[in-house]
Amino acid sequence: MDLGTIVGLVLTLSLLLGAMAMGVGLGPYIDIPSLLIVFGGTTGVLLVGFKMEQMKNLAKYFMIAVKPPQIDTPELIKKMIEYSTKARRDGILSLENDANNEENEFLKKGLSMAVDGNEPDTIRELLEVDMEQSSERHKANAQIFAQMGGFSGAMGMIGTLIGLVAMLLNMSDPSAIGPSMAVALITTLYGAMIGNIIGAPIANILQVRDSDEILVKTLIIEGIMAIQSGDNPRTLEGKLLSFLPPKERESQFN
Amino acid sequence: MDLGTIVGLVLTLSLLLGAMAMGVGLGPYIDIPSLLIVFGGTTGVLLVGFKMEQMKNLAKYFMIAVKPPQIDTPELIKKMIEYSTKARRDGILSLENDANNEENEFLKKGLSMAVDGNEPDTIRELLEVDMEQSSERHKANAQIFAQMGGFSGAMGMIGTLIGLVAMLLNMSDPSAIGPSMAVALITTLYGAMIGNIIGAPIANILQVRDSDEILVKTLIIEGIMAIQSGDNPRTLEGKLLSFLPPKERESQFN
Amino acid sequence: MDLGTIVGLVLTLSLLLGAMAMGVGLGPYIDIPSLLIVFGGTTGVLLVGFKMEQMKNLAKYFMIAVKPPQIDTPELIKKMIEYSTKARRDGILSLENDANNEENEFLKKGLSMAVDGNEPDTIRELLEVDMEQSSERHKANAQIFAQMGGFSGAMGMIGTLIGLVAMLLNMSDPSAIGPSMAVALITTLYGAMIGNIIGAPIANILQVRDSDEILVKTLIIEGIMAIQSGDNPRTLEGKLLSFLPPKERESQFN
Amino acid sequence: MDLGTIVGLVLTLSLLLGAMAMGVGLGPYIDIPSLLIVFGGTTGVLLVGFKMEQMKNLAKYFMIAVKPPQIDTPELIKKMIEYSTKARRDGILSLENDANNEENEFLKKGLSMAVDGNEPDTIRELLEVDMEQSSERHKANAQIFAQMGGFSGAMGMIGTLIGLVAMLLNMSDPSAIGPSMAVALITTLYGAMIGNIIGAPIANILQVRDSDEILVKTLIIEGIMAIQSGDNPRTLEGKLLSFLPPKERESQFN
Amino acid sequence: MDLGTIVGLVLTLSLLLGAMAMGVGLGPYIDIPSLLIVFGGTTGVLLVGFKMEQMKNLAKYFMIAVKPPQIDTPELIKKMIEYSTKARRDGILSLENDANNEENEFLKKGLSMAVDGNEPDTIRELLEVDMEQSSERHKANAQIFAQMGGFSGAMGMIGTLIGLVAMLLNMSDPSAIGPSMAVALITTLYGAMIGNIIGAPIANILQVRDSDEILVKTLIIEGIMAIQSGDNPRTLEGKLLSFLPPKERESQFN
C-alpha cells in the first residue's frame, strides 16, 4: 500500500489546523453554512457536469488513489518469461492451466485468447481496445477531481461575495465589520483547501496510477504477442526490461 | 433520464439562495440592471463569437445536457450479435427488414448500406465521416457554454468596475459607500454564478455525452464491418465487449 | 450576411453604455489619456508581436468576422453532383466551360486541373496544400485578436498601476482620492471591454469561419476526386451529405 | 527590415512614459531597487530554467525579432523554377555552379546534395531533420521570452509583497503609508511592463518568424525533390504557388 | 558543469534578501510557522499527488537540474563515425571491444546488440522504447516541480487567509492590524518565492535536459542503424550533423 497519499493528507491537514489553532483557535474557522455552500455547491455543480454513475463511484476512485492495486512489474516480467519458455518448449496449449489460474485479469484474458488459437492481430486489437477504453474511463474519473479543484475555488469565491454584499449593507456597526468579513472569507478558505488538498492532487495521482497501469498492460500485450509467435525468451526479456528504469532491469538469465 | 444534471442545478441554487436568505434576505441580491449587464452582455458577446444558427439552438443543447438520448449499450451489442448471426446464416440480404425497422439512425444507415452491397471501405469511410463531423458539431456547441463561463465572469468584472467608478466619484456621503459597493459587487457574483453553475458544467456534460455517442457509434461501425465480412459472432462479441467496463461485459453465449 | 456579430456588438455596448449613463452619466467614463494608454498600448504591443503586413489587414479580418463570404453548402453539393453526372456521361473534358465559368475559386482551380488531365494525386496534394496554408493564415489572423484580448487587459492593469502610484503620492487631500482612484480604474475597464467585446469573441468567430471554410474545401476536394475517377454520383452524394448535419441532408435523387 | 517591432516598442513606451509624465512626472516611477528586483530577479530565474548558452544569445534572438532575415518568397520560387528548367534541359550536373554560388544556405545544401547524386530519400530526410531541429531550437528560444513574461510578473508581485510587509510594520506615521505603498506597487508595474512589452510579444514574433522560415524551407525541399526527379517546371510552380496567399501567386509562364 | 542554474539561484535570492534587508531588515520576513505551512503543506500535497518513490528522488532530480551529465555531442558524432569506418572495414564484430569499453550506457547497449547480430528492427525498437520510457519518467519528474509551483502558491494563499481571518476577529487594537496583516502576507510571499524560484524554473530546466538527452539518444540510434547496415561514414556524418546547429557542424572529412 502506498502510504504517501495518506501521509500527505494527514501532514497537510495537521499543519493547517495547527496554524489555525495557534492563532485564534479552531472555533472561528468552523462555519457550517460556509461548509454547506462550498462542499454542497461543489458537489451540486459536479452532478451537473458528470454522469450520475460516475459520481456514485467517487469514493471508489478516491480509494484507488489512496490504496492502489499493487503490481510487482519485475515479477510480472519474470512470469511472462516463464510462460514464454514453456510455450516454446511444450507448445502454446501447455499454458491452458496457467491461463485459468492467472490472477491478473488482463494477462489471463490475453493468454486464454492465445491458447484458444485466435489470430495475433485479433488478440492485439482486442487487448489494445480494452487498455485504451479502460484508460479513457480512468482519465474521465481523474477529470472529476480536477474539476472539483476549479469548482470548489469558484464556490468559495461565490460564498465570499454573498457574505461581502451582506456585510456592506450592514456597516452601521463598525465593530461588526471585522467578524463579518472573517466569516465571508471562510468560504474562500474552504474552497482553496478542498481544491488544493483533495481536488488537484487526487486528480494527479489518479493519472499517475493510470500511467502505471498502461505500462503494465503494454508489457503484457508485448509478452503475449511474443509468447504466441514463439520468440526467443531472452529477446523478449530484453524488450520488456527496456520499459523499466535501468536500475530495475535484472535479467533472470544472468 | 439522467437526473444528475437537474438535481445538481437545484441543489446548488438552493444552497446559494439559502445562504443569501439567511443573511440579509434575497432582496438585496436581486438587481435587474446588474442582471441585464451580465446576462445581456454575455449573450451579446456570444452572438459576436458564434454563428446565429448555433446560438438559436442553445436551449436545445441545454436540453441534451439535461435529458440525453438514452442508449442501452449492452442491448445494442446484443442486437448486433443477432444481426451478425442472422447474416451469417441467411446471407446479408436477410437483414433488409431489420435495417428498415431499426430505430437507431446510425445503425440503420450502416445496415442499409451493407444490405445495398456497398464496398466495406465506402461504408466505413462514410460512417466515420458522419461520426466525426457530428462530434465536431457537438464540440462546437460545448464551446458555447465553455466560453459563456469566461465571458460571464468578464461581464461581471466590467459591471463591477462601472459601479466602482460611480461609487468613487460620489464618496461625499460615507454611509452610501457600503450599499454602492454592494451593488457593484453583485455583477461579479452573477458572473461567477452563471459561469460556474451553467457555463462550465454544461460544457463538461456535453463533452461527456459526446464521448458516449462516439463510443456507441464506434461499436456500431465495428459491428457493421463484422456483419458484412461474415465474422464469427463470438469473435465480434468479444471485440465489442472490450469497449465496455469489465463489470458490464456479459456474454450471451454463456 | 450573418447579423449575429453586429447585433451582439451593438447589444453589448448598448447595455454597458446604458449602465454607465444610468449611474453617474457617460462623462466620467470617457477619458482620452486612458483610451490612449489602452488602445495605443495594445496596438503598439501587437505591432511588436506580429508582422506589419498582418497588422495592416486587421480591419479586413474584422470585416470577415462581421460579414463572412456566404456559401450555400447544399447548393454546392448539388452543383458537384451535376458536374459528376455530366463528366460520367460526356467525359471530363465536357466540364471545361463549367470550370471557366465557376465562381468559387477553389472549385474552379480543382476542376481546371482535372480537365487539364493532371494526376489525381497531384490535384489532391495541391488542393490540400492550398487549403492547409490558407487555414494556417486564418489561424494566425485569429491569433491577433486572441492576443489583443490578453494585451488589452495587461495595458489596462498597467494604466491603473500608473494611476494608483500617482494617487498614492498625493493623498494629502482626502477628497481627491475617490476621483483619482476612479480615473485609475478606467484603464482596467477599457482593457476588459476591448478584450472581451472585441478581442476574444472576434478571435472565436474567425476560427468558426475558418472551420466552415475547411469543411467546404474538404467537400470540394472529395468531389473533384470523385468526378475525376468517374464515381457513381449517388455514391458521391451519399459521401458529401455525410459531412452535413442530418437535417440538412437532402438527396436530389429522391 | 520589418519596422513594426521597433515602431511598436517605441509607441508603447512613449504612451506609458507620457502617461506617467502627465501625472506626477517620471521621477516617482523610477526606482533602482525595484528595477533590480524585477529585472535582476527575472534574469536570475531564467538562468535557473534555461541553459547558459541559450541565455548568452538572448540579445541575438531579440535582434532576430526586430530585424529578421529578409526572404523574397516569390523571387525564391522563380529561382527554383529556373533551376528546374535548366536541370531538365541540361541535366542536374549543370546546376553545380548555381549550387556553389547560391546564397541561401539551405537551398545551397539541398542543391549540392542533388548535384552530388545522393538518393532523393536521403536528401529529403536530411533536409527535414535540419529544418525540424532548427525549428526546435527557435521554439526553445521563443520559450525564454514567453517565460520571461510569466517570471517578470511573479517577481513584480514578490517585490510588492516585500514592500507591503515593510509598510505594514511601519504604520505609525499615516502620511508615509501612501508613498510606501506607491513604491511597493512599482515592482508590479515593472513586472507587467517587462512581461507585456518585451516577454510575450517578442515570444510571439519569434514564433511568427519561425513559421515563415519553415514555410520557406518546405518550399525549398519540395523544389529540390522536383528538380531532382525532373518534374515539369509548370507543375512545380503550381505546387509551390499553392503555399502562397492567392494574391501573391504570379506565374512566370503567363 | 552548467553554472547557470546555481548562479541564477544565488543571484535571485541575493536580490530578494537584499531588498528585504534594505527595508525593515531580514528579521520580520522570517516566520517559522509560515514556513511550516507553505513548505510543509506543499510537501504534503505533493505526497498526495505523486508516488512515494518519485518523492524520495526529489533531491536527485534537483541535482540533475543543477549539475547535468555532460555530453560532448560533436565528440560523440566523431566517435560514431570512427565506429562506422571500422565496422565497414573490418566487419561489425571488430567493434566488440569498443562496445565493452564504451562509457555511454545507451551507445554501449546498442553497439552490443549490433555486435550480437540482432535484427535491425529489434535493435531500433528496443532502443526507442528505452528512450521513450526514460523520457516519460523525466517528464513525470519535471511535473513534480511544475506542480510544486502551483501548490506552493495555493498554500501561501491558504496561509494568508488563515491569518486574515484571525486578524479580522481581533481588530479591537488598531495598532496590531498592520503587523498581523504583515505576518498574514508572509505565507503568500513564501509561496510565490518557492513557486517561482524553485518550482517553475527547475521544471523547465529538467525539460530542457530531457530534450538534450533525447537528441543525443536519437543521434545514437541513427548511428547504430547506419553502422549495422554498413552505410558510408560520410553520409552518416552528414545526417548526424544535420541535428546540430549550423555553427557546430564540423566535418572530420575536410
- Please report the pLDDT score of residue E70 as a whole number: 81
Lowest-confidence region among B66-70, D133-137, D244-248, E199-203: B66-70
- Please report the pLDDT score of residue A14 as a whole number: 95
Query: Is pLDDT of A128 > 90?
Result: yes
What are phi and psi for residue C121, nearest 5 degrees? Answer: -60, -40
Q: Which of A197, A207, A214, A251 to mutate to test the interface with E (most CBs of E within 10 A)?
A: A197
Summarised one tens digit per residue, pLDDT across range C51-70 is 998 999 999 999 988 888 88
Summarised one tens digit per residue, pLDDT across range A174-208 is 788 888 999 999 999 999 999 999 999 999 999 99
User: SS3 for B91-156, per residue?
Assistant: CHHHHHHHHHHCCCHHHHHHHHHHHCCCCHHHHHHHHHHHHHHHHHHHHHHHHHHHHHHHHHHHHH
Query: If 0-12 CB within 10 Å is exposed, 13-18 middle and 19+ buried, where does residue C175 land?
Result: exposed
* Confidence class for position D23, pLDDT limits 50, 70, 90: confident
As a whole number, mean pLDDT of residues E211-219 equals: 96
Q: What percent of chain A lies above the pLDDT cut of 90?
A: 80
Q: Is B242 on the interface with A (CB under 8 A)?
A: yes
Q: Is E151 on the interface with D (CB under 8 A)?
A: no
More confident residue, C53 or C15: C15
| Residue ranges covered by each domain of chain D | 34-243
Contact call for residues A227 and A84 (beta carbons, < 8 A): yes
* Confidence class for position E1, pLDDT limits 50, 70, 90: low
Summarised one tens digit per residue, pLDDT across range B83-118 is 999 999 999 999 999 999 999 999 999 999 999 999
**Among C51, C12, C44, C29, which residue's Cα sits nearest to residue C182?**
C29
As a whole number, mean pLDDT of residues A155-166 equals: 96
Q: Is D176 on the interface with E (CB under 8 A)?
A: no
Residue in B16, B202, B245 closest to A41 by CB: B16
Residue in E22, E201, E242 closest to D45 by CB: E201
- For chain A, positions 10-29, list CB contacts with chain B under 8 A: none
CA atoms within 13 A on the CB side of E224: 30
- Please report the pLDDT score of residue D168 as a whole number: 92
Q: How many CB atoms lie within 10 A of CB A6?
A: 14
Query: Is pLDDT of E177 > 90?
Result: no
As a whole number, mean pLDDT of residues B15-22 equals: 93
Q: Which of D1, D14, D16, D213 to mutate to test the interface with C (most CBs of C within 10 A)?
A: D16
Between the two ends of chain E, the Cα-to-Cα distance in Å is: 31
How far apart (Å, rounded) are the C-alpha atoms in residues B246 and D213?
Answer: 51
The Cα of B112 is separated from the nearest Cα of chain A by a number of Å equal to 27
Residue in B47, B127, B168 closest to C8 by CB: B47
- Tell me what the pLDDT averaged over chain A comes to: 92
Q: Is C139 on the interface with D (CB under 8 A)?
A: no
**Under 8 Å CB-to-CB from D129, ≥6 apart: which residues?**
E239, E242, E243
Summarised one tens digit per residue, pLDDT across range E118-141 is 999 999 999 999 999 999 999 999
Q: What interface predicted TM-score (ipTM) does this complex get?
A: 0.92
The Cα of A250 is separated from the nearest Cα of chain B by a number of Å equal to 33
Residue in B127, B150, B158 closest to C193 by CB: B158
* Confidence class for position E53, pLDDT limits 50, 70, 90: confident
Contact call for residues A201 and E48 (beta carbons, < 8 A): yes
Whole-structure pTM value: 0.94
As a whole number, mean pLDDT of residues B20-41 equals: 92
Which residues of A are less than 8 Å from E118 in CB distance?
Answer: 235
Summarised one tens digit per residue, pLDDT across range B149-196 is 999 999 999 999 999 999 999 887 778 888 899 999 999 999 999 999
* Confidence class for position A1, pLDDT limits 50, 70, 90: low
DSSP C66-124: HSPPP--HHHHHHHHHHHHHHHHHH-GGGGHHHHHH--SHHHHHHHHHHHTT--HHHHH
Contact call for residues E185 and D164 (beta carbons, < 8 A): yes
- Please report the pLDDT score of residue A178 as a whole number: 86
Q: Is C134 on the interface with D (CB under 8 A)?
A: yes
Q: Is E126 on the interface with A (CB under 8 A)?
A: yes
CA dist list (Å): E203 to A231, D47, E215: 41, 13, 19
Query: Is pLDDT of E244 > 80?
Result: yes
Contact call for residues A200 and A95 (beta carbons, < 8 A): no
Which residues of B are less than 8 Å from C176 in CB distance?
Answer: none
- Tell me what the pLDDT averaged over chain E comes to: 92
* Confidence class for position B21, pLDDT limits 50, 70, 90: very high
- Please report the pLDDT score of residue D1 as a whole number: 54
Q: Is C163 on the interface with B (CB under 8 A)?
A: no
Query: Is pLDDT of E17 > 90?
Result: yes
Query: Is pLDDT of C244 > 70?
Result: yes
Buried b / exposed e across A65-88, counting CB within 10 Å, b at 16+? Answer: bbebeeeebeebbbbbbebbebbb
Q: What percent of chain E lies above the pLDDT cut of 70?
A: 99
Query: Is pLDDT of B37 > 70?
Result: yes
C23 with B164: Cβ contact below 8 A: no
Q: Is D63 on the interface with E (CB under 8 A)?
A: no
